[in-house]
Each structure stands twice: as C-alpha cells, then as structure tokens.
Amino acid sequence: MAPRGPQPTKPKIKLKVKVKPIQWTRMLLLPANDPKRPDLVWNTIKEPEIDIDEIISLFSVKKKEEPVVEVKKTVIKKTFLDNKRAQEVGISRAKLPPINSISKALITMDDKILTEDNIDAILRIAITKEELEQYKSNQDSEGVWEKNELFLVELNEIPNYKEKLKVWSNILKYEFIMPKISESFNYMIPACKELKENKHFHKVLSAILSLGNIMNGGTPKGQADGFSLDLLPKLSGIKDTLGHSILTFICSKTNKEDPTFEGFKNKFPNLEKAAGYSMSETKKKLDELNNMVNIVEKGLNDLNIGDEFCNKANHSLAMALEKVKELKKKEEENKNYYHETIKFFGYKDKDKYYEENGLFFKMLLAFFKEMDKQMPKLEVKKILDFQKSGFGKKIDQGALMKNLMSQLKQKIQN
C-alpha cells in the first residue's frame, strides 16, 4: 500500500552522540515535479554545508553524572577523661579565654585577661599526673583527641602555669582580705575607751550598785563594792510591785539628775562596729593571711624567673610582708587594750568574755538599747510644735514645764 502524503526525500543523518534537538514543526513537501506542490519559500532554499562534528561538540547532550556518594569514615575519638570530669572541664573551658590569651596573662599578670574565678577554675580542672600518662601512652594510637582533652594538654604546655596560678591566686586572696582585717582593728580601742570613760555609763553602774546594796541589805549579797556586769541583761526582768522594770526607776532617777542622759546607746558610736568583729575570728583570718603570704613567697622562690609576672608578684609580696607585720602589731595592741578593759570591769582571764569581745560588746549593746526603751519620754517638744502650728496663743513656759514634771512624777509613782 503506497504511503499517503509527502514523504521525506533527504537522507537520514545518524549522529554518534545525542545532541540538543530543535523543537520545530516539521514540513514535508511534495516532489518538485508534482504539479500539486505549492509555491513556497522552501522551494528555492538550499541547505549549506555544516560540519557535523562541530555541531556535536557545541550541542551534544552531556550525560548526567551519577552523584558521588561520599563514604564518611568513622572517626575514632580518643579520651582520657570520664564523663563527669569531661563535663566539668567543658563547662569551665567555655568560660575561659583561649589558650594563647591564658599564656600571655601568665607572662604579664594581666588581670583583665584572667580573673580570680578564671584562675581558680584552671587550677581546679588542671590535668592530673595519671591523665597526662594516659595521653602520652595513647598518643600514637588511631583517632583524634576530644576538645576537652586537647585543651588540658595545651594548657599543660604553658611553662610553670600551675605554679604561677597558685602564686597569683594567693596574691588576689590576700589583697582582698588585708583591708578587712585592718578595718577590724579600727573600732576596738575607741569602743573600749568609750566604756572606760563614759560618765553616763558609770553613773548607771553607781545607781545599780546603790540600789542593789539596799535591796540586798541584811543578806550575804549586800555591802558590795561592785558587781559583775553579767547582771546587766537580767535587770529588765526585775519588776516592782506594779510590774514596772527596775530599769524604769534607774532611768528616771539618772535622767532627772542629768537631762543629757537621753539617747544612751548613741553615746557609744564605736561599740556596735566593734561588736561586729571577733578577736578570735580576726586571729584566724590573720593566720590565713600569713599562710597565703608564705605560699606566695615559697612559690616565687621555686620559680626563680625574672619575667614581668614574677616582678609584679615580688612587688606585691614585699608590700604584703610589711602589711602583715603592721597588722600583727595592731592585733597585739587591740588585744592588750581589750584585756585591760575587761579587767577594769572586774573580769579575769578565765572568764568567757576575756577572749570573746563580740559577746561582751553585744551584751552591753543589748543593755543600752533596753535603757533607751525605759527612758522617760518628755512631751515638751511635741506640745511646743503643736502650739506653733497657728493658734497664736502665748505659752507660759514655766507653767508648762511645771505641769509636765508633775505628770512625769505621777507616772513614776504609778
């Protein structure tokens, strides 16, 4: 059966490789001698000679390359830290400057690079002898070291880092504690002088002595020349027949004789500050300070290096040694003056207050506060302020004072 319609008349072109096709609509014409062939532009167009190999080189379709699947090799991680230790090192390492900065700080003693917390952290996580041996024995084995292990090893390569950090840590500690110890010596002697010399305190003691000899009349406790100050905190518990504290009577009597008697506790400004420091605790701190200075001195002798770090450390040590001498002298002066004061008030070296100044001062402070509570509160200023508020009436000051004193006597009698 003959094919229907126009058929291809040009020879087939066989290509060695696939090229990019041109997406056109193909036209096939009737043979040139066919009377039915229409008059088209294509009737006169002749195809030029084109190098097929050139076309292939320009328009060939490249084969899609199969993706290369990279086979990841399993990396063996080496470690000499257990999980707990690795976690501790990791947490500390995250807060520390890099190794090169740490190394620089240990040459210049630069506290802007390493803080006291940084120094304590490095000393805390420093590689141990056993860990270093594990590192060396596994150095040539397959795998790579974990970051925490590498950090400790690199840290250990800084010359004398442990010795310098120990010196630096103790310098920072004693520079912090020295001013606090020094301050504790500022109030002891002034507080003792206030107690030994204050006329109001002595007047109260004389009133208590007189009252006690009257109340203890006819008993073995009477006819006393003095009494232990241990009595003072107990006085507020002694009541009269109307339930008033004996301190109310004492305060009224002394205040009547001396109007400047009010504000009793405020007459001892150094006592409360001195009560905040214990001689025994200060002695312990001074011993700690001396120990820190000795550690620094020994550390620098062992290092025996002339770099900037050691020069700064030696300068600090020289000042610290002088300061320790000064503080020891002040401690002795304070202790001796306190012991003199304790003996002045009748205590002996075996009594509980002899070495515990804090207890003694706090006992007296409590008594002074109770005295202020029991002090008669005069209403003069309050009434005068009220009259000045705008009523414009003249006040008979003499009559007012006479009336107030009469009211005060009635309160005391009641």
Domains of the chain: 77-158 (1.20.58), 378-414 (no CATH)
3-22 average pLDDT score = 75
Is the pLDDT at 273 greater than 70? The verdict is yes
Is the pLDDT at 354 greater than 80? The verdict is yes
Query: Band of the pLDDT at 400, cuts 50, 70, 90?
Result: very low
Q: What confidence score (pLDDT) does residue 391 get? A: 41
For the chain, give the secondary structure using H, E and C: CCCCCCCCCCCCCCCCCCECCCCCCCCCCCCCCCCCCCCCHHHCCCCCCCCHHHHHHHHECCCCCCCCCCCCCCCCEECCCCHHHHHHHHHHHHHCCCHHHHHHHHHHCCCCCCCHHHHHHHHHHCCCHHHHHHHHHCCCCCCEECHHHHHHHHHHCCCCHHHHHHHHHHHHHHHHHHHHHHHHCCCHHHHHHHHHHCHHHHHHHHHHHHHHHHHCCCCCCCCCCCCCHHHHHHHHHCECCCCCEHHHHHHHHHHHHCHHHCCCHHHCCCHHHHHCCCHHHHHHHHHHHHHHHHHHHHHHHHHCCCCHHHHHHHHHHHHHHHHHHHHHHHHHHHHHHHHHHHHHCCCCCCCCCCCCHHHHHHHHHHHHHHHHHHCCCCCHHHHHHHHCCCCCCCCCHHHHHHHHHHHHHHHHHC
| Least confidently predicted of 73-82, 188-197, 400-409 | 400-409
Q: What confidence score (pLDDT) does residue 17 get? A: 76
Q: What confidence score (pLDDT) does residue 405 get? A: 53
Q: Each residue of 40-98: pLDDT tens digit?
A: 666 767 777 777 776 777 667 777 666 666 666 677 888 989 999 999 999 999 999 99
Q: What confidence score (pLDDT) does residue 341 get? A: 93
In angstroms, the CA 16 to CA 56 distance is 8
The pairing of strands 77-78 and 144-145 is: parallel
Q: What confidence score (pLDDT) does residue 46 get? A: 73
pTM over 0.85: no
Q: What confidence score (pLDDT) does residue 377 get? A: 62
Q: What confidence score (pLDDT) does residue 68 get? A: 66
191-202 average pLDDT score = 92
192-221 average pLDDT score = 88
Q: What is the mean pLDDT of the chain?
A: 83
Q: What confidence score (pLDDT) does residue 97 get? A: 94
- Percentage, residues of the chain above pLDDT 90: 44
403-409 average pLDDT score = 52
In angstroms, the CA 108 to CA 308 distance is 5
Is the pLDDT at 124 greater than 70? The verdict is yes
Q: Which residue has the higher pLDDT, 62 or 275?
A: 275
Q: Each residue of 360-392: pLDDT tens digit?
A: 999 999 999 888 888 766 443 444 444 444 444
Q: What confidence score (pLDDT) does residue 86 get? A: 93
Q: What confidence score (pLDDT) does residue 78 get? A: 87
Is the pLDDT at 228 greater than 70? The verdict is yes
Query: Band of the pLDDT at 21, cuts 50, 70, 90?
Result: confident
Q: What confidence score (pLDDT) does residue 383 get? A: 40
248-270 average pLDDT score = 80
Q: What confidence score (pLDDT) does residue 41 get? A: 66
Q: Each residue of 156-184: pLDDT tens digit?
A: 999 999 999 999 999 999 999 999 999 99
Contacts (Cβ under 8 Å, ≥6 apart) of 344: 196
